Chains A and B, each alone.
Chain A
Amino acid sequence: MDKEIAIPEIKLQPEALKELIQFIRKRGFSDPVLIREILDHFACKTEELLSKDPRLSLSEAMTKAHESFGIRGFLPIVEAYGQYTFLKYKRIYRKFFLKVITHPKWLPLILLTGVGTYYVVTSPLLSVLNAGPFLGLFGIGFFIALLLMTEWTAMFFIIFRKTPWQKNTLLQNAVRLPSHLSFIFWIFLMNLHLGQAADPESSKALFISILLACLTALFQVNLLSLYFTIQEAKKETDASHQPE
């Protein structure tokens, strides 16, 4: 086999790197986090092609380098990174969940939420309101659940008001968590509880009241844990911008 000839290495200048970034954006990847994952490998391949054949234009080298990634282009890198970050943020979420339920700052708030919910759902006033002409249509449980959703929405608004949410891979993966499904279960239970109004002293009604209280407290823990997880994702996104 012929001895490999040493090829002088070409290094891309900042202006050329900007063109590579534009090339990546045109392929549908504008998230700075994804650009960070793709750019270096893409740039190295382009540099190798230019070093082997200096007659190639930058545009031709970029096209050839992109083709060498295969039929799916940059997608395998993006998908692998997406799956990795989803699992990573799932772990981070669990870490915050445990921290929140054991932290002396948050634990009283969570207990207060649970106890408060218990007293609200066992209040006779709740059954009276539910029997009324307006709330009776949807059930008071639905409106209390709506209140909690408003809290959730407000949290998202506060965190995301300056963040390009749709194009943020890390944030999308941070919130792709199933924990808030407990909210839907909460609505169901709330209405089931109010159906027990005919015999509020029954052990079944008591059981459902306690379950609702626990679920509300869990929902609060979930919101807090998600908030902290999203903050971590935001920090990592901010750190991912390419050097000037």
Chain B
Amino acid sequence: MESKQIIKGSLQTMILNMLEQHGSMYGYEMTKYVRKQSQGKMVLTEAALYPALHKLSEAGLLSAVYKTADGRTRKYYFLTPQGKKKSKELTQALHQAIDTLLHILNPKQAYG
């Protein structure tokens, strides 16, 4: 349960990073990707995903385009230039935060 709170704080970083890696994705595709990459350990719910996507769009980090796919309208999200820059910054910051935490939690492994 506690890990969910930790991951929740990284949601926006995760979304930006996914889009940076894949170019453009639609909502369901993002939930499926997270489920697959986490081997089912993490479920990205619609209640968490869509407010985050709209917040990032409002901040100018994402944009979206509607295309026809499988007989219906599909909304693809992609990073703006500002979003690409922010994605790199946040991903780096998250990696550093994780490294720092690991040093605190496993000092013997960190320092030998």
By a beta-carbon cutoff of 8 Å, the part of chain A in contact with chain B is 1, 4, 11-14, 17, 36-37, 39-41, 43-45, 48, 69-70, 72, 76-77, 79-81, 83-84, 87-88, 240, 242-243
Are B28 and A41 closer than 8 Å at their CB atoms? yes
Q: Is B51 an interface residue (CB 8 A)?
A: yes
Nearest-Cβ distance from residue B25 to partner chain A, whole angstroms:
12
The interface centre, meaning the residue of A4, A39, A41 with most chain B CB atoms within 10 A of its CB, is A41
Nearest neighbor of A85 in chain B, beta-carbon distance: B54
Q: Mark B41-52, 1 if CB is under 8 A from A, else 0.
A: 000011100110
Q: Which residues of B contact A240 (CB under 8 A)?
A: 73
A88-B55 Cα distance, complex, nearest whole Å: 11
Q: Is the CB of B58 within 8 A of A87?
A: yes
Give the residue among A13, A39, A80 with the most B Cβ atoms within 10 A. A80
What's the Cα separation between A79 and B46 when bound, in Å? Answer: 11
Q: Is the CB of A80 within 8 A of B51?
A: yes
Q: Using Cβ atoms and an 8 Å threshold, which residues of chain A touch B68?
A: 243
A1, A4, A40, A76: the one contacting B73 at CB < 8 Å is A40
User: What total of chain B residues lie within 8 Å of the partner, measured CB to CB?
Assistant: 24
Contact A76 B27 (CB under 8 A): no
Flag if B58 contacts A84 (CB, 8 Å): yes
CA distance A43 to B70 in the complex (A): 10
**B12 within 8 Å of A (CB atoms):** no
Question: What residues of chain B have their CB less than 8 Å away from a CB belonging to chain A?
Answer: 26-28, 32, 36, 39, 45-47, 50-51, 53-54, 57-58, 66, 68-75
Instruction: State whether A84 and B75 are in contact (beta carbons under 8 Å apart), knowing that A45-B28, A72-B47 are contacts in the complex.
Output: no
A69 — which chain B residues lie within 8 A by C-beta?
45-47
Is the Cβ of B45 less than 8 Å from the Cβ of A70?
yes
Alpha-carbon distance A146/B28, docked complex (angstroms): 50
Residues of chain A with a CB closer than 8 A to B51's CB? 76, 79-80, 83
Does A80 lie within 8 Å of B71, measured CB to CB?
Answer: no
Chain B residues, CB < 8 A from A76: 45-47, 50-51
A41 and B70 form a contact (CB under 8 A):
no
CB distance from A205 to the nearest CB of B (A): 46
A76-B51, A243-B72 are known; give 7 further A-B pairs, CB within 8 A. Answer: A13-B71, A41-B46, A76-B50, A79-B51, A83-B54, A242-B72, A243-B71
